[in-house]
Structure 1
Amino acid sequence: MDLLLDEWLMTGRGLVIKYLLVAGLAYVFCYIVFKKGLSGRKIQKKLPKPADYQREIGFSVLAMLIMTASAALNATILLPYNNVYFGIDTYGWGYYVLSFIWMIALHDTYFYWMHRTIHHPRLFRSLHLVHHRSTNPSPWAAYAFHPLEAILEGAILPIIAFTLPVHWSAMVLFFVFSVVHDVYIHLGYEVLPGRFHQTRIGRWINTSVAHNQHHKHFDGNFGLYFTFWDRWMGTMRSDYDEAYIKATPQQVVVNPATATTQSVSGPSGGL
């Protein structure tokens, strides 16, 4: 039990630090230093109130401590039974990369269906309303979940560990990737290029605009990393294209010396 508690505290502390660092840098960059220069890329033009930031940080820290309990269980009590391994040579680097891709794909699928489920009228208020109090999310809203939803969010870790073999460090990278991505989709700004969402690759990527629409309207755009499930299941909002174009009026180059932006004309690319 002491080992479980130590692992929980270490993992929880690590995730909270990552969140504070990534969300903090995003907030300072977008909401303070380059606030004026990036105003054209603010998805909802108004800014959240200080009380919103405080609520988001408080629930995020609590949720992360709950979510990392499953990681601690994976690393201690469940370790003899799950598929976490420690030697890269066991499966090689090729499998290591594929297993990371598998984790992302599995998480995206799990999240989409779990997310749609907790939007059911009988579940929404008790499980998901806390997160949707951020109708105009900031980077601090990335993990602002009700404790019960935090349990559901953290359940992906044992699901991953009991499906395919995964190296322990790949799970750490998965944590880091998730934090960065979750901060991005709650950023409140769109930092990807104009019309990226219409490119061959971009149309399948979940963007800050797409998730911001979900927070604002409470429906549609249920995906996490990708838009596959939303497009396949008909839950992609019909006004997504318009919202993305509105939030990316032009490509900009940030000038750190003056904290301003300059318009740059030209194509947005065709990936």
Structure 2
Amino acid sequence: MNQLLENISWAFLLTIGRYFTIAGIFFLVFYLLFPKNLLRNKIQGKLAGKADFLREILHSSVSSLVLAIMAIIALSEGIRGYTFIYTDLHAYPIWWIPVSLLLTLLVHDTYFYWMHRILHHKRLFKTTHLVHHQSTNPSPWTSYSFHFLEAIAEGAVMIVLVFAMPLHPITLALFALSSFIINVYGHLGYEIMPKGFRNTFLFEIVNTSTFHNLHHQKFKGNYGLYLRVWDRWMKTEHPDYVKDYDRMQEQRFGKLHKDTSFD
């Protein structure tokens, strides 16, 4: 029992440390140091207040504990023999580390899309997901601002992953880091995609901060985490997304020529 509590404590410190470090850096740059310089990048004109930030940090601290517990369960000795976790780096080619990282993100995107849609069911929304949607104008602190039941559902993806494919702990660590950075970007409240992104095929596939911000404004549509793919297949992408993205980029760069060959 003492070892279990120690493992949970270390996992919690790692999770909440990641939260405060990464979300804190983005918050420092965009909300404290350079808000006037980056005003053109602001997706919504209004600003969230200190009470919103404190609420989000409180919920995120609880979520960090829940996510840490879920990670410990996924890596526990009790289920290790039934999972695909491996610790010998030579058990698989070294290229499997980046490939498996990409696959974990793809699995997570699918998992998140359907979990997210379920949480928007009227019988679940008010008791769980509404906590996250109190942040209608999200900030980096919103990233882990969940009801504890939603935090369990969010963290359960780690258990899904270790049963889905061979994964080294390095891959899981990179997954946790990269997924959180993308999560913070989605809740940033500022658009930072480069000028030419709109005219690439990646625009048709990859989510942007504008994409997820619209979900927080409208509460419906744009359920995907990393990609637009599931929303486009299931016809749940908000019809105003592309228009809003173009408005944001014109706000940043002026009138743009848009290549419609990808539309």
TM-score, reference length from structure 1: 0.91
The residue that corresponds to 2:235 in the other structure is 234
How far has the Cα of 1:201 moved from its partner?
Answer: 1.1
Q: Which 5+ residue runs of structure 1 have no aligned equivalent?
A: 253-262
How far has the Cα of 1:34 moved from its partner?
Answer: 1.3
* Contact 2:250 2:256 (8 Å CA) reproduced: no
The structure with the greater share of residues assigned to strand is 1
How far has the Cα of 1:28 moved from its partner?
Answer: 1.0
Q: Within 5 Å, which residues of 2 pair with 1:1-271?
A: 1-76=1-76, 77-194=78-195, 196-249=197-250
* Contact 2:40 2:252 (8 Å CA) reproduced: no
How far has the Cα of 1:195 moved from its partner?
Answer: 5.9
C-alpha distance in 2, partners of 1:50/1:32?
A: 12
C-alpha distance in 2, partners of 1:213/1:165?
A: 36
* Contact 1:194 1:250 (8 Å CA) reproduced: no
Of 27-36 and 68-77, deviating more is 68-77
CA gap of 1:137–1:47, structure 2 versus 1, over 3 A, is: same
CA deviations on 1:123-181 (whole Å, 9 max, x unpaired) are 11011000000000011000100000000000000100011110011000111111111
Identity of aligned residues (%): 40
- Aligned pairs, number: 260
* Contact 1:41 1:191 (8 Å CA) reproduced: yes
C-alpha distance in 2, partners of 1:219/1:211?
A: 10
Of 229-238 and 4-13, deviating more is 4-13
How far has the Cα of 1:199 moved from its partner?
Answer: 2.0
C-alpha distance in 1, partners of 2:108/2:187?
A: 18
The residue that corresponds to 1:260 in the other structure is none
How far has the Cα of 1:40 moved from its partner?
Answer: 1.0
How far has the Cα of 1:41 moved from its partner?
Answer: 1.1
C-alpha distance in 2, partners of 1:210/1:198?
A: 16
SS in 2 for 1:92: coil
How far has the Cα of 1:2 moved from its partner?
Answer: 2.5
How far has the Cα of 1:196 moved from its partner?
Answer: 2.2
How far has the Cα of 1:74 moved from its partner?
Answer: 2.2
How far has the Cα of 1:251 moved from its partner?
Answer: 5.2
C-alpha distance in 2, partners of 1:203/1:190?
A: 16
Q: Cα RMSD over matched residues?
A: 2.0
C-alpha distance in 1, partners of 2:155/2:36?
A: 37
Letter paired with 2:45: K
The residue that corresponds to 1:257 in the other structure is none
C-alpha distance in 1, partners of 2:257/2:69?
A: 47
C-alpha distance in 2, partners of 1:154/1:196?
A: 31
Q: Which 5+ residue runs of structure 2 have no aligned equivalent?
A: none
* Contact 2:223 2:236 (8 Å CA) reproduced: yes
* Contact 1:128 1:149 (8 Å CA) reproduced: yes
C-alpha distance in 1, partners of 2:246/2:60?
A: 30
